[in-house]
Chain A
Amino acid sequence: MSEINRRVTELVCDVLGTDNFAVGPSTPRDAITQWDSLKHIQVILAIEDEFGIEFSDVEIATSRSIDDLLNLIARKVDK
């Protein structure tokens, strides 16, 4: 698991109050009961804070899994 992957997974699990094993990188957030729209904001805020980036409204709405978030982070951190 890459360093970024590890940090993101940990943040998501922190926000959701779940342990690492329950959330896989491609698990869609619809399938995770704790990951409701409110928690999604907190996930986004935590990631923005951790990596010093900002998501657009469309990106927030369309990110549906840890993999989606990792792709967005990779694009933004590279720039």
Chain B
Amino acid sequence: MTARTFRLGDANAESRQIEATLPLTAPAYHALFVRSYTIEGIEPYLRHALLRLGLRPHLAFGGYGTFRQDLDAISVSKAQPPLDAVLACWTIEELDPDFGRPDWTVSRVKDELLDLFECLDRAPARSILVQNFIPPFHSESGASRDSTREGIVHLNQFLREEIDKRGPRFSLVDCARLASQLGEEAALDPRFWYLAKAPYKPALLEQMAAEISHIARVQFGLAKKVLVLDCDNTLWGGVVGEDGLAGVQIDGHDYPGKAFQDFHKAILRLARRGIILALSSKNDERDVFDVLDNHSASLLKREDFAAWEINWGNKADGIAKIAQRLNVGLESLVFVDDSAHEIALVRQLLPQVTCLQTPEKHWLLPSFLARAAIFDTAPVTDEDLARTQLYRDNRQRELGREGVSNLEDYLASLQTVAQIGEATSRDVPRIAQLLLKTNQFNLTTRRLTAHEVEEMIASAAHAVFALSANDRFGDIGLVGVMIAERRGTVIDVTDFLLSCRALGRGLEFALVCEAMRQLISRWGECVWRAHFLRTLKNLQTNTFWDMVGFSVECEDEHGKYYILQGEHDPDLMPKHIKVIGRGQ
């Protein structure tokens, strides 16, 4: 690990600069540290990391060891706006004063942690981040068993299990891993631990801040979605157009072939987590597919890629086309290439794309993406596992479109079936994910957590509708969400979104028609309200409510506020979509 990325002075200077130009619409990130030691030193690093994500940080610190009081205080005050994160920072010493004595065991710390987890679970925050403990760097017992170390390792395992058990709102800040990467000297500060209860050096605080910002990146829907890969000297050694199928280096029993093959494994692990793969290569298409289809050592196959631009044109154009074809914003793309020239070109022409040059030392290639820490881990859903297939089906649909000249005929030929109905708790992970990730067709861009969605499903005053679809090319999955809230005789449509992979076939109208119909039969005739809240990416939904039949009641710099008394446009329901109930 590189020791330090930013000196404090430089980080502060850049923070001031970003803050001065941050748009007014930048979302706030309200966080409270509940802690047993001095963690204030993290503030400038965390501010910097959050500002670089385009978030406006508001950081607060609780008292020393007053976890319960601080958590009670936010529960009682019903903090407004709600906290985006509560961060629990603790040391074993503070949880159990007997730590370090010869007869110390983990039991008291475990009881204390379990009780604190219960308090954290009740905290009204959108995410709960918990740090683990740093095992000692030295052994007092030489080669024989070290019960202190074993105890700490056991406690870390216990923390991991508690976090997993309590669902996606909880995340781990893995200080044990960060400290071991940095080494004792760079991570720990015994001097300030004894002088001021501040145990960590700036390098570790900076890494903790980075981890926290990665969790925030997922929480605010800013995570990377697509990995665009070069081919020659990135996916294999050599140039396939010159060296031929037999000449490229990718064999698992050779150097550097094995390094490239291990890189394939790392890429496949990312795909498994839902990252979409694409290719950008200056080559003849058949040469590239010759390797992917026919080279027995190539673990990556043609089916693993959702899109490709293999030609002699400029890569920036190709990458822009890939983004367009996959219906994602350029800022969700990561481009990987071995050529400094290509990286520089794409960086200049498409500054929103994250560009990474592969290391010259081949042995560093397999771990290169993990070290860049660019793809964040959100809980994996079934949709993630099938995502590339879903995008490939879309490609088939696009190709199908070319054969049918008239759009209506084309849409009819898809034989789309939409299942629309109230969501169940089984749908919650996917709905939370869509609320988080959908930027383009999202009317209010409210990033609700799984926990909040779960509460709405259970609440009598809320209705959460889900739309799943399939057509003759395959299953499209759960791609639409509408959430409504009833207040007296008013039904307020607070959230409405459609996944970008389902755009362009009128599913949004099917969802709104059917959900409104079901709501009227549940709640009776009402006045409808709806909103369009403007972001940099949702402009295409600007007139959606007008098309449904709503009228603008007022408008301000944030967006438009709509009202509808009576019924929606009678011709709204698309004729080419067959609507059935969910679970049918």
Residues of A within 8 A of B (CB): 7, 10-11, 14-15, 37-38, 41-42, 45-46, 49-50, 57, 60
Q: What chain A residues lie within 8 Å of B201 (beta carbons)? A: 45
Q: Is B40 a contact of A38 with CB atoms below 8 Å?
A: yes
A10 to B195, CA, bound (A): 25
Q: Which of A11, A14, A15, A38 contacts B38 (CB 8 A)?
A: A38
A57 to B191, CA, bound (A): 8
Residues of B within 8 A of A (CB): 7-9, 12, 38, 40-41, 44, 191-192, 195-196, 198, 201-202
Q: What chain B residues lie within 8 Å of A11 (beta carbons)? A: 8-9, 12
Q: What chain A residues lie within 8 Å of B44 (beta carbons)? A: 14-15
Closest approach, in angstroms, between the C-beta of A35 and any C-beta of chain B?
A: 14
Q: Is B9 a contact of A45 with CB atoms below 8 Å?
A: no
A46 to B6, CA, bound (A): 12
Q: Which of A10, A37, A42, A60 has the most CB of B within 10 A?
A: A42
Q: Which of B9, B191, B196 contacts A10 (CB 8 A)?
A: B9
Closest chain A residue to B192, Cβ basis: A41
Q: What chain B residues lie within 8 Å of A45 (beta carbons)? A: 8, 41, 192, 201-202
Q: Which of A11, A37, A38 has the most CB of B within 10 A?
A: A38
A50 to B40, CA, bound (A): 18
Q: Which of A37, A41, A46 contacts B9 (CB 8 A)?
A: A46
Closest approach, in angstroms, between the C-beta of B57 and any C-beta of chain A?
A: 13
Closest chain B residue to A15, Cβ basis: B44
Contacts A/B (CB < 8 Å), 15 sampled: A14-B12, A15-B44, A37-B196, A38-B38, A41-B41, A41-B192, A41-B196, A41-B198, A42-B41, A45-B192, A45-B202, A46-B8, A49-B7, A49-B9, A50-B8
Q: What chain B residues lie within 8 Å of A37 (beta carbons)? A: 196
Closest chain B residue to A48, Cβ basis: B202
Q: What chain B residues lie within 8 Å of A14 (beta carbons)? A: 8-9, 12, 44
A66 to B9, CA, bound (A): 16
A73 to B517, CA, bound (A): 74
Q: What chain B residues lie within 8 Å of A46 (beta carbons)? A: 8-9
Closest chain B residue to A7, Cβ basis: B9
Closest approach, in angstroms, between the C-beta of B203 and any C-beta of chain A?
A: 9
Closest chain A residue to B40, Cβ basis: A38
Closest chain B residue to A8, Cβ basis: B9
Closest chain B residue to A14, Cβ basis: B12
Q: What chain A residues lie within 8 Å of B7 (beta carbons)? A: 49-50
Closest chain A residue to B16, Cβ basis: A14
Closest approach, in angstroms, between the C-beta of A44 and any C-beta of chain B?
A: 8
Q: Is A42 a contact of B40 with CB atoms below 8 Å?
A: yes
Q: Is B195 a contact of A41 with CB atoms below 8 Å?
A: yes
Q: What chain A residues lie within 8 Å of B12 (beta carbons)? A: 11, 14
Q: What chain A residues lie within 8 Å of B196 (beta carbons)? A: 37-38, 41
Closest approach, in angstroms, between the C-beta of B204 and any C-beta of chain A?
A: 12
Q: What chain B residues lie within 8 Å of A42 (beta carbons)? A: 40-41
